[in-house]
Amino acid sequence: PATARGGAQEDYQPGEAGVDKDGGAKEGKGTWRHAAFHVATTIATPAAYAPLPFALASLGWPLGVCCLVIGTLVTWCSSLAVASLWQWNGEKHTSYRLLAQSIFGPWGYWYVSFFQQVASVGNNIAIQIAAGSSLKAVYKHYYAADHGAMTLQHFILLFGMLELFLSQLPDIHSLRWVNATCTASTIGFAGTAIGVTIYDGYRIDRNDVGYSLQGSTATKVFRGFNALGTIAFSFGDAMLPEIQSTVREPATTNMYKGVSTAYTLIVVSYWTLAFSGYWAFGSGVQPYILSSLTVPRWAIVMANIFAVVQITGCFQIYCRPTYAHFEERIQAKNMAYRAWLWRLMYTSAYMATITLVAAAMPFFGDFVSVCGAVGFTPLDFVLPALAFLKAGKLPKNLGLRRTVKALCCAVAVLFSAIGVLACIGAIRAIVLDVKTYKFFHDM
Give the list of residues 6+ apart from residue 325 with CB closer than 8 angstroms, or none. Answer: 113, 117
C-alpha dihedral sign at 61, 44, 113, 21: negative
Question: Residues near 374 by Cβ (< 8 Å), separated by ≥ 6?
Answer: 115, 118, 119, 122, 419, 423, 426
For the stretch 4-36, what's the b/e string if a residue is b when 16 or more beta carbons lie within 10 angstroms of its beta carbon? beeeeeeeeeebebbbbeeebbbebebebbbbb
Q: Is the pLDDT of residue 443 over 80?
A: no
The neighbour count for residue 329, using CB atoms within 10 Å, is 15
* DSSP H/E element including 180: helix 176-203
The answer to whether the beta carbons of residues 196 and 397 sit under 8 Å apart is: no
More confident: 342 or 338: 342
For residue 181, the model assigns a pLDDT of 84
The 3-state secondary structure of 255-270, one letter per residue: HHHHHHHHHHHHHHHH
Closest CA to 380 of 83, 1, 92, 34: 83
Three-state SS string across 197-248, please?
Answer: HHHHHHHCCHHHCCCCCCCCHHHHHHHHHHHHHHHHHHCCCCCHHHHHCCEC
pLDDT band at 74 (very low <50, low <70, confident <90, very high): very high
Q: State pLDDT tens for residues 288-331.
A: 899 899 888 999 999 999 999 989 988 988 888 788 888 878 77
Q: Is the pLDDT of residue 101 over 70?
A: yes
92 CB-near residues (< 8 Å, 6+ apart) = 19, 20, 25, 86, 245, 251
Spatial neighbors of 191 by CB under 8 A, at least 6 apart, are 269
Say how many CA atoms lie within 13 Å of 6 toward its Cβ.
14
Q: What is the mean pLDDT of the chain?
A: 86
Whether residue 14 has pLDDT greater than 70: no
Q: Do the Cβ atoms of 25 and 98 come closer than 8 Å?
A: no
pLDDT digits (tens, 9 = 90+) for 234-276: 998 878 998 898 898 889 999 999 999 999 988 889 999 999 9
Select from 2.30.29.30, 1.10.10.350, 1.20.1740.10, 1.10.3720.10 the CATH code of 32-436. 1.20.1740.10
Q: Which residues contact 139 (CB under 8 A, 6 or more apart)?
A: 150, 155
Q: Please give the single-letter amino acid code of residue 153.
A: Q
Split at pLDDT 50, 70, 90, the class of 38 is confident
For 124-162, the pLDDT digits (tens) are 999 999 999 999 999 988 887 666 689 999 999 999 999
Structure confidence at residue 64 (pLDDT)? 94
Tell me, what's the pLDDT at 336? 61
Strands 92-93 and 19-20: antiparallel
**What's the one-letter identity of residue 46?**
P
CA distance 36 to 42: 10
**Domain range list for the chain:** 32-436
Residue 281's closest CA among 53, 51, 443?
A: 53
**How many whole angstroms separate alpha carbon 116 and alpha carbon 195?**
35
pTM of this structure: 0.83
Q: What is the pLDDT of residue 227?
A: 93
